[in-house]
């Protein structure tokens, strides 16, 4: 027996020396080593994947940067070409006008002068020294003077509105800018009947008095007063509901006190409603372009 035990011990020693020490590790140790090796491989794969993704994003960013630079340059070239074209056309137009005046200094006839006046080319905005002086003109100015003042103020505010629209082109996104531009164009269309009435001096006197007062107050940056005048014009100041004078078979005791100036004119027809709403927008443009103290401004 002792001989057999000695031989078995020799064989075990020889086998361990030839196969290494791993053969005698238990299963949990071998599983832990395998798991550690697997984790190292997965981390390496993840690192390579992240590096590849970072390179991809960097390439995309570089492409976008190059594309934006190219688009900006293209836009600048188009704008420069358009500007040069407009300048050349303006220059040619001025040269043609100068040549025309040099050749025929007295060519303008009475009909041309009348047409120019009809287009409002010679109408300028009246400037008052004080608000008190301006308020006196509410009663002293004639229908023609008020019409011309309102026309000039409306054209001035439309020009300011156009300037404001252009300034917002680079401040808002394209979709919002198109909405702002469309609102301005719509106001231009709705204002045409009013401007025509002012030019031909056929405006209703009650409406003209109100819009003239609004224009004067906006001129002096008295926007609260202008807003009050607009509300008086839009909804009236009668003690009864708008436009209602007879609601039963008996006449009201205060019916005689309801005059035409106390009934809302803005509801008379669709055209009036549109251009008076545009007048309100011009008040907002005036307050935006020429701000006043908070106590005089409409929130």
- For residue 143, count other CB atoms closer than 10 A to its CB: 14
Supply the pLDDT for residue 101. Answer: 40
Supply the pLDDT for residue 48. Answer: 92
pLDDT digits (tens, 9 = 90+) for 35-70: 999 999 999 999 999 999 888 888 888 888 888 888
Supply the pLDDT for residue 264. Answer: 46
* Six token digits for residue 199: 């030019």
pLDDT digits (tens, 9 = 90+) for 166-198: 888 888 888 888 888 899 999 999 999 999 999
Task: Tell me if residue 219 falls in helix, strand or coil.
Answer: helix
What's the CA gap between 112 and 42, in Å, rounded?
89
What's the CA gap between 117 and 93, in Å, rounded?
22
Residues in the chain: 299
Supply the pLDDT for residue 24. Answer: 64
Supply the pLDDT for residue 295. Answer: 86
pTM listed for this prediction: 0.53
What's the CA gap between 214 and 232, in Å, rounded?
11
Question: Residues 178, 184, 190, 192: what is their CA dihedral angle, to the nearest 10 degrees?
Answer: -130
Low-confidence ranges of the chain (pLDDT < 70): 1, 15-24, 91, 94-123, 236-268
Greatest pairwise CA separation for the chain in angstroms: 147
What's the CA gap between 134 and 149, in Å, rounded?
12
Task: Tell me if residue 68 falls in helix, strand or coil.
Answer: helix
């Amino acid at each position: 027996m002792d001989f057999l035990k000695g031989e078995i011990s020799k064989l075990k020693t020889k086998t361990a020396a030839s196969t290494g020490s791993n053969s005698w590790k238990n299963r949990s140790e071998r599983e832990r080593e395998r798991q550690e090796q697997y984790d190292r491989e997965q981390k390496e794969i993840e690192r390579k994947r992240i590096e590849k993704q970072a390179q991809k994003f960097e390439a995309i960013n570089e492409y976008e940067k190059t594309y934006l630079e190219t688009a900006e340059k293209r836009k600048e070239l188009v704008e420069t070409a358009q500007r040069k074209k407009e300048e050349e056309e303006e220059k040619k137009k001025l040269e043609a006008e100068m040549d025309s005046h040099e050749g025929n200094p007295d060519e303008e006839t009475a009909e041309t002068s009348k047409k120019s006046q009809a287009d409002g080319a010679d109408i300028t905005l009246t400037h008052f020294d004080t608000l008190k002086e301006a308020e006196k003109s509410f009663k002293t100015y004639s229908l023609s003077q008020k019409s011309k003042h309102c026309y000039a103020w409306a054209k001035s505010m439309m020009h300011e509105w156009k300037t404001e629209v252009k300034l917002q082109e680079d401040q808002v996104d394209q979709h919002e800018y198109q909405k702002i531009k469309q609102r301005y164009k719509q106001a231009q269309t709705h204002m045409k009947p009013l401007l025509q009435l002012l030019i031909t001096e056929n405006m209703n006197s009650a409406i003209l008095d109100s819009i003239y007062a609004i224009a004067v107050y906006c001129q002096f940056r008295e926007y609260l007063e202008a807003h009050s005048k607009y509300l008086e014009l839009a909804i009236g100041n009668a003690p009864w509901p708008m436009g209602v004078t007879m609601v039963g078979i008996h006449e009201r005791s205060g019916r005689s006190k309801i005059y035409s100036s106390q009934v809302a004119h803005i509801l008379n027809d669709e055209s009036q409603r549109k251009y008076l709403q545009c007048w309100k927008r011009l008040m907002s443009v005036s307050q935006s372009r020429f701000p006043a103290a908070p106590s005089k401004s409409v929130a």
